[in-house]
Amino acid sequence: MSFLLVGRNPKARLSMGASHASALSAVLAELSGKEPEFMQHATEQQCKTWAALLRENLSRVKLIKGVNKRGRKYAFLVVQGADIRHEFSNGHYKHDAIDFVPSWEMANDLDDEWKMIMNGFVEFLESCGGILRVV
């Protein structure tokens, strides 16, 4: 499943997969202290605030990527300093079907794919003028 985020700026469009949207939402929730609702709509100010949070903390965002025992690939974004046990037992990732709780030893810097996704999302947020809808 993928989403198309449509901005108030007529040229602002961003397509992303559901797993990417979920991971970005988890990062924004950790950085801002509350669950972002960018999948519904957002004001221009909210978008600029989220873009600034992501840009300022990009070096703190880490990637946990691998394959679980059933062969399912996974990729999770976590913010350095976050309580990983909470994120996977009670937090944002509690509903993901993995059969273990990751540790900080598994976290790495973002790979090129995730850097591109993060930078594309930040650029969209900075220029969209607010999110009108998600289709």
d(CA 124, CA 48): 10
Q: What confidence category does residue 55 fall into, taking pLDDT thresholds of 50, 70 and 90?
A: very high
- What are the C-alpha distances in Å from 63 to residues 5, 8, 24, 46? 23, 31, 12, 25
The β-bridge partners of 67 are 73
Domain with 122, as residue range(s), is 2-134
Q: For residue 42, how many other CB atoms are within 10 A of its CB?
A: 23
Residue 2: CB partners within 8 Å, gap ≥ 6?
15, 16, 17, 18
Span 19-50, pLDDT tens digits = 888 889 889 988 998 888 776 788 999 999 99
pTM: 0.84
Count of domains for the chain: 1
Report which residue type is found at 55: R
Question: What was the pLDDT predicted at 61?
Answer: 95
Residue 122 has pLDDT above 90, yes or no: yes
